[in-house]
Amino acid sequence: MRHRHLGQVVVAIILVVSLAATAAVAAAAPKRRFVIATAGTAGALYPMGVAMAETINRHSDRFMASAESSAASVANLRNLHEGNVEWGIAQSEIATFAYNGQEIFKGREMKELRALFATVGSYFQVFVPASSPVRSIQDLKGKRVGVGQPGSGGEIDARMVLAHCGLDYKSVTPAFLTDAEMVDALRDGDLDAIMVTHPLRSAALIDLTTSFKVRMLSVDDPAFYASHPFFLQATVPAGTYDSVDVDVRTPFSRVIMFTTTGADFSDDDIYHLLDTIFSNREEWRTSHASVDRTVTLEAALDGIAVPLHPGAVKYFQDHGLTVPAELLPAR
């Protein structure tokens, strides 16, 4: 009996040591690192990305994330395609073009894109001096118009709106400038109008509207929204900006977080990461006012037009969201 008891003790010790060793190996296993590409440091997306990365790093036992500033949608999509980053944000309409190989992505469709969740919304906003005779997009014929940097999401949006109104870069004089340069040029009288795709009250637009009297032009033709389904018609409420005292109807799209099939995240990986992010929303929601207002689990599918990652499908279905059939990825 004594020998049997001693044998049981030895076996128990071996089991304890084995379990401890296994736990130590698991604890020592390195976390996978990945990059989240965001946008410029002045807006909502970079601080949101930083805060989400910090949440992942704080709570995930598998991953370490880092957020990087970038030139936003087009650059992020190209970097996702080339495998330079694992996650990245892009405006919904620009990602739709990339997925389908349209516009500047013509002949280079990115069928590997997979949506993860919707973030903040961006509004297409057109500003003219308050004293300008321009009252509509059509009135910009022959005018000097700031449209953003070449190939940027905002510049593509500007071309779409101009085209719908019967204009192009031959009927206006386009200025391919940064947001800050466009603001300065409008204020200095070097431009007649500027077109930007931003969240409301971005730093550049607050700079413009608190130092210079402006009006905004509406884009309210129902036919535009029917032919551009990735845009919703939204309202910029009166008083959003100084001197803008009427509601303005304008295109609105969501900025979506993406990964790719080539980034090699399993369904369980994505489920785990989304759960880590949305279960700890209190830690990142205050990164920017627009993030706090709009980036929620309930709105996570808004504006997405590219198939979801399968892990995201399962996560959202498990949390009570109905995933539209067109967002289900092909297996």
109 and 147 assigned to the same domain: no
86 and 66 assigned to the same domain: yes
Of 200, 226, 253, which residue sits at a domain end?
A: 253
pLDDT for the residue numbered 72: 86
223 and 316 assigned to the same domain: no
58 and 98 assigned to the same domain: yes
137 part of a folded domain: yes
pLDDT for the residue numbered 19: 55
| Residues spanned by the domain of 161 | 122-253
Question: pLDDT, tens digit, for every residue of 131-162?
Answer: 999 999 999 999 999 999 888 889 999 999 99
104 and 220 assigned to the same domain: no
- What whole-number distance in Å separates Cα of residue 92 and Cα of residue 268? 25
Q: Give the residue among 196, 99, 217 at the shortest CA–CA distance from 152.
A: 196
- For residue 9, pLDDT over 70 is answered with no
68 part of a folded domain: yes
Of 253, 277, 301, which residue sits at a domain end?
A: 253
Q: What is the CATH number of the domain that holds 170?
A: 3.40.190.10
Chain position carrying tokens 């905004």 = 216
Phi and psi at residue 32, in whole multiples of 5°? -75, 130
43 and 95 assigned to the same domain: yes
Count of domains forming the chain: 2
- Do residues 109 and 99 touch, judged by C-beta distance below 8 A? yes
pLDDT for the residue numbered 29: 75
- For residue 25, pLDDT over 50 is answered with no
Torsion sign across C-alpha atoms 233, 239, 241, 243? positive
Q: From the CB of residue 21, how many other CB atoms can be counted at a distance below 10 Å?
A: 10
From residue 23, alpha-carbon distances to 32, 60, 63, 103, 290 in Å are 18, 17, 18, 52, 42
- For residue 15, pLDDT over 70 is answered with no
- What whole-number distance in Å separates Cα of residue 127 and Cα of residue 216? 5
94 and 130 assigned to the same domain: no
25 part of a folded domain: no
- For residue 13, pLDDT over 70 is answered with no
9 part of a folded domain: no
Binned at pLDDT 50, 70 and 90, residue 229 comes out as confident
171 and 247 assigned to the same domain: yes
115 and 129 assigned to the same domain: no
pLDDT for the residue numbered 5: 54
Question: For 57-81, what is the HEC assignment?
Answer: HHHCCCEEEEEECCCCHHHHHHHHH
58 and 155 assigned to the same domain: no
135 and 171 assigned to the same domain: yes
294 part of a folded domain: yes
Q: Give the residue among 301, 306, 326, 328 at the shortest CA–CA distance from 99.
A: 306
In sequence order, what are the residues at sequence separation of 6 or more whose Cβ sits closer than 8 angstroms to the Cβ of residue 27? none
164 and 249 assigned to the same domain: yes
